[in-house]
Amino acid sequence: MSQTHAEIHPIASNHVLIDTDLTPDETRQVLELGLAVKRSPKDFGAVLRGRYAAMLFEKPSLRTRVTFELGMKQLGGDAVFQDHKGDRIGEREPARDMARNLDRWFDVIIARTYSQDTLEDLAEWSSVPVVNALSGMYHPCQALADYLTLRERHEDLAGLTVAYVGDGNNVAHSVMLTGAALGVNVNFACPEGYEAEAEVIARAQALGATTGAMIQVMNDPRAAAEGAVGVYTDVWTSMGWERETQERRIAFAQYQVNSDLMALAAPNAIFMHCLPALRGEEVTDQVIESEQSAVFDQAENRLHAQKALLMMLLAG
């Protein structure tokens, strides 16, 4: 390995199915390695030579699919994509059988699923790492890219505040859990009845108690945004909940991120969104196209954060 490489620390857990499969130290190491990869990508061009990823996707994807495929190639490896939008993983044959086929051929399984249970089934039977590329419960790779985007702007994330305004979905879960691991305060604001899972909130708060992070749940988006360095939102209706679209538009009408809400945040605050965005619903066009918007930095950083994660899983 070249002397110009940042140190690649192995991950203790064999799988990354949920944000807390990474320890707080490992989470910070992913971000620092991601920064090094972004600065000098050619220094890492052979780290995963001869390594191959299987990609099983039940849901549509632009950023996740492209950045994982490209990331494996840029590290010297390769990826094979298998589309499961028509037949869910485990329908045609049991997930445990799929895992025990794939682990004979591949070094890592990257899965994007509706159910967290599907990921758990794959991981239980796979002898190679399984990575959550989005499930109905968590989106850890997105959160790593999000906090990498903040890390580029702040030398120390501990003690900073991020406001998450919107639905208590998979992205909200991961923003809270990864924020707690990094010592970042997260103010989560949503309409009553659309809170994140109580068990996830409790876990984030317990983790935050060890890192100095405060994870707060509230209904007032203005209170959440006060002094935040990042104001984050996502679509009001996640994949699989389309039947609730109209009622969610009504429930979330006061939770749009607009210029008035951004004005309450810190002077150097950025607007954050995992994309795709519905402009005019959860965010105004004015905000997403403003100089404060970091949404395309987040999208780019999916590549760098995931390359760091893959190296820490496979480069041992």
Report the distance separating Cα 30 and Cα 67, nearest Å: 16
Residue of 29, 74, 142, 298 with catalytic role: 142
Specify the 3-state DSSP secondary structure of 122.
helix
Which one from 65, 203, 273, 302 is the annotated catalytic residue?
A: 302
* Angstrom distances, CA of residue 299 to CA of 23, 141, 150, 153, 188: 24, 11, 13, 16, 22
SS3 65: helix
Choosing from 65, 139, 173, 203, which is the catalytic residue?
A: 139
Distances in Å between the Cα of 219 and the Cα atoms of 126, 162, 222 are: 41, 15, 9
Q: Is residue 276 reached through a cis peptide bond, with omega within 30 degrees of 0 on the bond before it?
A: yes
How far is the first Cα of the chain from the last one, in angstroms, to the nearest whole number? Answer: 12
The CA distance from 22 to 28, in Å, is: 9
Catalytic entry in 65, 234, 248, 304: 234
Question: Is 139 annotated in the active site?
Answer: yes
Pair 76, 49: CB distance under 8 Å: yes
Distance between CA atoms of residues 213 and 227, nearest Å: 15
Catalytic (active site) residue 112: yes
Q: Which of 15, 84, 274, 306 is catalytic?
A: 274
Active site residue 84: no
Question: Helix H segments across 168-231?
Answer: 170-182, 198-211, 221-225
Has 190 been annotated as catalytic? no
**Which has the closest alpha carbon to 226: 239, 235, 236, 216?**
216
The radius of gyration of the chain's CA atoms, rounded to the nearest angstrom, is 19
Catalytic residue among 28, 65, 112, 203: 112
- Residue 260 catalytic? no
**Residue 254 bears catalytic tag:** no
Which residues are designated catalytic? Answer: 112, 139, 142, 234, 274, 302
